[in-house]
Structure 1
Amino acid sequence: MFFFVWTLFLVPGALSVGFSSNVSASCVGEDCCSDYDGIGPCVLCSMLPSEFLDCNEPTNKNNSDGIGCAKFGGQNFDEVTTTRVYCRVLEGIECYGNRSFWSLHEVPCVKYTGHYFLTTLLYSVLLGFLGVDRFCLGHTYTGIGKLVTIGGVGVWWIVDIILIITGVLMPEDGSNWERYY
Structure 2
Amino acid sequence: MASYRRRSRSAPVLLLCVSLCFPPLRTEPVLSCDALRPGQYLCNEPKIDEITQEPENCTDATALVLCLPAPNISCLLSNGSEFKFSGDEVGFNKTISCRNVGYYSYKVAVALSLFLGWIGADRFYLGYPALGLLKFCTVGFCGIGTLIDFILISMQIVGPADGSNYIVDFYGARLTRLSINNQTFRKPHLPV
The interval holding the TM-score normalised by the smaller chain is 0.3 to 0.5
TM-score (norm 1): 0.42
Q: Which has the larger radius of gyration?
A: 2
Instruction: Tell me: higher relative CO, structure 1 or 2? Use CA pairs within 8 A at least 6 residues apart.
Output: 1
Structure number with the higher strand fraction is 2
